[in-house]
Amino acid sequence: MSEPVLAACGLEKSYGRGHTLLEVLRGADLELGQGELLAVVGPSGAGKSTLLHVLGGLDRADAGEVLYRGSELTKMWGGRLDAVRARVFGFVFQFYHLLREFTALENVLMPEMIRSSALTWLKNRRESRRRAEELLEELGLGERTAHRPAELSGGEQQRVAIARALVGEPEILLCDEPTGNLDAASSANIRELLRRLNESGQTMIIVTHEESLAEIADRTLEIREGRIYGG
């Protein structure tokens, strides 16, 4: 592999539970190449979500480092980390996390609105809206832009969530069990969508316990007892 776009070395993460300490990551290592689709598999509770959150700067490791193109994310704080996270990463979660009072289009636009100043949003809102509408159209939701989450199926909600993750044109898409809450048909649709996104050049990591989803990856790693195995 050429110089990785994202790398993790010796990640350790523990959580307190009562009087005990739960060790979730125990020296996890990982490298991600440009344009690669990497799957990380393992059973529920193996630390997959924690790994993804640490890689994307949503959580901090107790030890170890995360490097984005050679810059150590684990040493960034505050606004600097927020800016890198917003520019580099798009997040897709198992439970969608759509805002139920807003339409599909408004949900997709929400990250752009949040990270823009009022003046910047007024200046860029037409272009942002065009980009959001194009994404929803590409994902088969062109006629559903005005629908709220309760009016959408689970698969449609996940596609809205994927559009929301992509609207800022992130370099790396991080997917946390993206088919884990879907029926078989919707899972197959999302699996094909993620495959097509990767073929178009999107770099991504998918954590999953589903073998069929891992099969679309360029490489598959396994997480067991807080460590990562595979090549």
pLDDT digits (tens, 9 = 90+) for 35-82: 999 999 988 888 999 999 999 999 999 999 999 998 998 888 888 888
Please tell me the distance from the alpha carbon of residue 90 to that of residue 117, in angstroms, as a whole number. Answer: 20
For residue 188, give Cα distances in angstroms to 2, 169, 191, 213: 31, 24, 5, 8
CA gap 85, 19 in Å, rounded: 34
Interatomic CA distance for residues 174 and 161, integer angstroms: 12
Q: Which residues contact 195 (CB under 8 A, 6 or more apart)?
A: 37, 216
Q: Give the CATH number, domain containing residue 88.
A: 3.40.50.300
In a domain, 201, yes or no: yes
163 belongs to a structural domain: yes
In a domain, 46, yes or no: yes
Q: How confident is the model at residue 1 (pLDDT cuts 50, 70, 90)?
A: low
- Is the residue at 25 inside a domain? no
What pLDDT sits at residue 150? 96
Q: Which domain holds residue 213?
A: 34-61+77-229
**Count of the separate structural domains present in the chain:** 1
The reply to whether 26 falls in a domain is no
Residue 205 counted as domain residue: yes
Q: Is residue 23 part of a domain?
A: no
Say if 57 falls within a structural domain. Answer: yes
All residues at 6 or more sequence positions from 21 whose CB lies less than 8 Å from its CB, including other chains? 14, 15
Does pLDDT of 90 surpass 60? yes
> How much is the average pLDDT of 142-170?
94
